[in-house]
Chains A and B, each alone.
Chain A
Amino acid sequence: MALLKVEGLGKSYTSDKKILKNINLEINPGEFVSIIGPSGAGKSTFLRCINRMVEFNEGKITFNQQDVGSLNKRELRRMRTNIGMVFQHYNLVPRLTVIENVLHGRFGYKTTMQGILGRYTEEEKERAFELLEKLGIQEHAYKRCDQLSGGQQQRVGICRALIQEPKLVLCDEPIASLDPNSSKIIMDHLKAITTELGITCLVNLHQVDVAQNYSDRIIGLNQGEIVFEGASHQLSEEQIHKIYGTKTKELIIA
């Protein structure tokens, strides 16, 4: 049974230009799937349609047997707790401590008042520290987020997604602002989420080689359409050329 099923998804901001066209996709529990494609291909928009951060116009998305498009506000929040999200620019609250930022991931389970007053249970706090330890940044727990390096901040972002106890984690260009060293650490952690915790990962990437190294399956997106779908080893030079429409050698090096 697929965890996420996308049928005929379409999205346009203006009537003349479609960002996404007729996307069909199934993702099974425990898979690590990458979406590659040039910038402007609609990768970010596609990811945001899944948890309805962006409203889509056509088609149907089914997540965990629920029709995403038909959920009301309350149900949508409930669903979002099951989907973690990791961002290119980490999107942390810079003035707050690491531990506070991680605990923000619990808001979906709380009433408004509990959230405003910052009431977290001891189990939640313990869990937050466990996650920080797992990602190797426990010693920074009481530091302000703006004092951390990019790679460390991204790990905080991953902790925030994991404390939600999600079934699916969406990663929007998680390593695009990081140096190669930090990128490797982050990708290893994301891979570990799938292999060790069994959480499904859907990752937007623009580095083809990274996608090939880590993914079970790769989806190539160009101008809002899926132009490739298959296992990593099936991705040939020719197909990369089709996805990017340019010489691939330079891309792989870059």
Chain B
Amino acid sequence: MEAVQIRRKKDGRINIKVGNKVDQVVTWTLIILSILTIVAFAFFNYAGLEIKSAMTETAYNLKVMFLQPAISHFSMEEAIYQMVITLGLAFLATVIGAVIAFFLSLMAAANLSNKWTVRIVRVFVAIIRAVPTVLWVLIFAIAAGLGSEAAILGMLFHSVAYLVKAFSEAFEEVDKGIIEALQATGANWWHIVTRGVMPSTFTYLLSWVFLRFEINFGVAVAMGAAAGAGGIGFELFMASGFYFDLKEVGFITYGILIIAIVLEVISTRLKKRYFPANSN
């Protein structure tokens, strides 16, 4: 009786692991990732790299940047103005993205749309998401001419993809009873959306939009630097790539850091308030 229950290894020792699928997959994923990481270092292109001097130099540069920030190529007002431009780019991409995403997500929510529309919208969104934002911006820059239009259109794509996913999941969580009750009264689709779905999800959607705004701020900085979209990102690129002015790089980095932290604090508060269980 007693021995039947105990599982033993081949050498007679008692086994305490069960080895279920979850554990196996977790273990193997970790092993494969570790191997790939080691292999990666063999693949790297080490052209012109001298680790030791680079490290000490970076340490020195960081010290200069963060301990002696200063501006020399533009004025304080200019810096603030550029910062506002970056915020403006992020804001526009977020707001327009939210409007488009709202309509698309109605089509992508399984409980408000038919099966095929849902699938088509989702595949479309997945493909859009797969193209890095910077490529969208650069492609639009040649296709539509340089300027803020290209930057915003490029950023728009990812904002829409991100928000469609978030919105449609929020819509799908709406109580089935509410929708059925409205259908029973003979309400049409728009009535269901505006009276049944919107009121119960509106604040939730708004906090997602704000989370995206936080992300878009970082993206807008990046687009300024990598795609010439203007704003503080471009100044950062100029300061480091053309003037090699570490103090100015430090100053700009501080500016970005402050805004990013303010946005993060706000979005953490929103998350705590509207997503108490899980912020994933």
**Direct contact between the two chains A and B in their complex (CB within 8 A):** yes
Residue ranges of A at the interface with B (Cβ–Cβ < 8 Å): 97, 99-100, 103, 118, 120, 122, 125-126, 129, 133, 138-139, 141-142, 144
> Judging by beta carbons under 8 Å apart, are B16 and A129 in contact?
no
Q: Which residues of B contact A142 (CB under 8 A)?
A: 7, 18
Q: Which residues of A contact B14 (CB under 8 A)?
A: 122, 125-126, 129
Q: Which residues of A contact B50 (CB under 8 A)?
A: none
Q: Which residues of A contact B6 (CB under 8 A)?
A: 129, 141
Q: How far is the CA of A120 from the CA of B15 in the complex (A)?
A: 10
Known: A138-B5, A139-B5. A122 touches B13 (CB 8 A): yes
Closest to A132 in B: B5
Query: Majority SS of interface residues in chain B?
Result: loop
What distance in Å separates the Cβ of B101 from its nearest Cβ neighbour in chain A?
36
Residue ranges of B at the interface with A (Cβ–Cβ < 8 Å): 2, 5-7, 13-14, 16-18, 20
What distance in Å separates the Cβ of A123 from its nearest Cβ neighbour in chain B?
10
Q: How far is the CA of A120 from the CA of B2 in the complex (A)?
A: 20
Query: Majority SS of interface residues in chain A?
Result: helix
What distance in Å separates the Cβ of B42 from its nearest Cβ neighbour in chain A?
30
> Judging by beta carbons under 8 Å apart, are B13 and A141 in contact?
no
What distance in Å separates the Cβ of A40 from its nearest Cβ neighbour in chain B?
26
Residue of B2, B5, B13, B16 touching A97 (CB-CB under 8 A)? B16
Residue of A100, A133, A139, A144 touching B16 (CB-CB under 8 A)? A100
Q: How far is the CA of A142 from the CA of B5 in the complex (A)?
A: 9
List 21 A–B pairs whose Cβ atoms lie within 8 Å, in order of A's numbering.
A97-B16, A97-B17, A97-B18, A99-B16, A100-B16, A100-B17, A103-B16, A118-B16, A122-B13, A122-B14, A125-B13, A125-B14, A126-B14, A129-B5, A129-B6, A129-B14, A138-B2, A139-B5, A141-B5, A141-B6, A144-B20
Closest to B3 in A: A129
> Judging by beta carbons under 8 Å apart, are B2 and A133 in contact?
yes
Known: A97-B18, A142-B18. A129 touches B2 (CB 8 A): yes
Q: Which residues of B contact A118 (CB under 8 A)?
A: 16
Q: Which residues of B contact A133 (CB under 8 A)?
A: 2, 5
Q: How far is the CA of A129 from the CA of B13 in the complex (A)?
A: 13
Q: How far is the CA of A91 from the CA of B243 in the complex (A)?
A: 60
Q: How far is the CA of A126 from the CA of B17 in the complex (A)?
A: 15
Closest to A139 in B: B5
Q: Which residues of A contact B2 (CB under 8 A)?
A: 129, 133, 138
Q: Enumerate the 9 nearest inter-chain pairs by beta-carbon distance, A residue then B residue, closest first.
A: A125-B14, A138-B5, A99-B16, A142-B18, A129-B6, A97-B18, A100-B16, A139-B5, A122-B13
